[in-house]
Structure 1
Amino acid sequence: MTTAITRAIVTGHTRGLGAALAEQLLARDIAVLALSRSRNAALAERYPQTLEEIELDLADPARVAQWIAGDALRRFVDGAQSVLLFNNAGMVQPIGPIETQDAGAIAAAVGLNVATPLMLASAIAAASVTASDRRIAHISSGAARNAYPGWSIYCATKAALDHHARAVALDANRALRICSVAPGVVDTNMQAEIRGSDKEQFPLREKFEDLKRNGQLTSPEQCATQLIDFVLSDAFGQAPVADIRELAQRS
């Protein structure tokens, strides 16, 4: 897949995997429209011509819908032959048994982890009129496929992305490919947040502490390289759900 007239949308680009994705796409001369609550000053300084940033609370579906109703997305993808969407932004909170979960925190998690990715996916499918190749990558998790105590909201929201990709794939839109990709365990702020959670809230905390202690976490940069290579490959979209670790083992 050529990247000369390819443009990408990345959510949550200010740190961790999102920052690595945005940086590597820009380094490959792919213009990026980045959506987050704040800006990435370092990336903006390095790529002033090809990075466009939008400050947007992605956990607020009403604000996201209002932004989508405008023309910023349409203008960005106009003229592109290929459009990529990396639905990366997500949150692990609220962590804990169901009776401890705050209603507002649940609403924010569902907004950020589910509503916004699904709205952006639909918007990309509709807005990129000239693009003959549209690729949507939901950044999922092993938690979508395996239940963990204390993670009922995170597990449920990530599973929603997996099933969304499965259903969209059945639409058989030849100009659109979609895959919900588990990136493995990546050394991000989310991992630090998990390790800092109360053991009563998350009984498996020690498992994640061991992964960090034993150097078993993938760096955001390494994961971003694998994800971008996969999304740009002919294999992307052949299956609606994938795991980066399994793909790496096959190659």
Structure 2
Amino acid sequence: MAATPPSVPVTKAIVTGHTRGLGAALVDALRAQGIDVLGLARSRRAQTADASVLPGRFEEVELDLSDTRVFAQWLASDALASFVRGAGRALLINNAGTLGPIGPSGVQPPLDVAAAVALNVAAPLMLSGAFSAATAEVPDRRIAHVSSGAGRNPYPGWNIYCATKAALDHHARAAALDAERGLRVASVAPGVVDTEMQGQIRGADEARFPLRERFAEMKRSGQLVSPEQAAAKFVGYLLSDAFGDTPTADIRSL
């Protein structure tokens, strides 16, 4: 008598900043696995594949994650708990983020600094807490912060971006020590991905970002990976048994 194959748990995922670049590719990679996805971003995605192409269902909510008060009101609703209800495995990918403001501290507008910290740090930490509470009864829960090499190595002109990505890394390290039941947490660097942010980097004022030419050369020499390639590796790691074994990871070394 043939062995019964193991059942695959119903999996549901939340992805922030899902409308373009790596975020959009992450949504497609998850849906290709039959995973239902909820996207959170300031706008809706322009184009999405239908269920005949990508079987996982897709929902999205227009929400400015940098507006802490509005985001907190949404988190206080039952929207998150309603989405994950019935899941045997729940995933959260904190992908939304901003590069700016670029330049040394003396040229950074205070409100731009506040907005960057709100989006890059406050929003993912708020959502992680709400996700943990909403999925308390889910057997397999996983939180992945989209990190960066900039969180582990300093770059001139990027003190805000470096600091905020380092905050996500350290959140993952500390959250792992809490050892919440069924919860795995990791901050994962996806490599240098060919997204709009890379275009923003190449267009930066060299006086504010002295390493601009280095990133321009990476583009010219084909060293950037596509969002689809990065997303495939990221999702593969997120779904693997190895996810969470270390609180910080880089998919280029996996």
TM-score (ref. length: structure 1): 0.95
Query: Does the CA contact (< 8 Å) of 2:34 and 2:55 recur in 1?
Result: no
**Cα 1:192–1:45, aligned 2, differ >3 Å: closer, same or farther?**
same
Distance in structure 2 (CA, Å) of the matches to 1:216 and 1:3: 36
Give the drift of 1:4: 4.2
1:25 maps to which residue?
A: 30
Give the drift of 1:128: 1.1
2:45 maps to which residue?
A: 40
Deviation string, structure 1 residues 18-74 (Cα, Å, up to 9, x no partner): 000001111211000100001113117556981110000011111111100011101
Match of 1:119 among 126, 131, 136: 126
Query: Does the CA contact (< 8 Å) of 2:16 and 2:94 recur in 1?
Result: yes
Distance in structure 2 (CA, Å) of the matches to 1:126 and 1:196: 41
SS at match of 1:42: coil
Distance in structure 2 (CA, Å) of the matches to 1:95 and 1:48: 40
1:62 maps to which residue?
A: 69
2:191 maps to which residue?
A: 184
Distance in structure 2 (CA, Å) of the matches to 1:49 and 1:98: 44
Please give the residue correspondences for 1:150-161 in structure 2 after superposition, counting only pairs within 5 Å: 150-161=157-168
Query: Does the CA contact (< 8 Å) of 1:6 and 1:31 recur in 2?
Result: yes
SS at match of 1:41: coil
Higher helix share: 1
SS at match of 1:84: strand
1:15 maps to which residue?
A: 20
Say yes or no: does 1:83 pair with 2:85. no
Give the drift of 1:2: 6.5
SS at match of 1:43: coil
SS at match of 2:93: strand
Q: What is the aligned length?
A: 247
Higher radius of gyration, 1 or 2: 2
Query: Does the CA contact (< 8 Å) of 1:3 and 1:30 recur in 2?
Result: no
Q: Which amino acid aligns with 1:243?
A: D
Query: Does the CA contact (< 8 Å) of 2:9 and 2:89 recur in 1?
Result: no
Deviation string, structure 1 residues 119-151 (Cα, Å, up to 9, x no partner): 111111100133111100000000001000100
Say yes or no: does 1:92 pair with 2:105. no
Runs of 4 or more, structure 1, over 3 Å off, are 1-4, 44-49
Moved more, 166-175 or 138-147: 166-175
Query: Does the CA contact (< 8 Å) of 1:12 and 1:88 recur in 2?
Result: yes
SS at match of 1:218: coil
Deviation string, structure 1 residues 100-127 (Cα, Å, up to 9, x no partner): 0011110110011000000111111100
TM-score (ref. length: structure 2): 0.94
2:238 maps to which residue?
A: 231
Deviation string, structure 1 residues 166-214 (Cα, Å, up to 9, x no partner): 0000001231000000111000000000000000010000110010000
Identical-residue share of aligned pairs (%):
62
**Cα 1:198–1:103, aligned 2, differ >3 Å: closer, same or farther?**
same
1:106 maps to which residue?
A: 113
**Cα 1:192–1:107, aligned 2, differ >3 Å: closer, same or farther?**
same
SS at match of 1:110: helix
SS at match of 2:34: coil
Distance in structure 1 (CA, Å) of the matches to 2:181 and 2:232: 26
Distance in structure 1 (CA, Å) of the matches to 2:46 and 2:194: 22
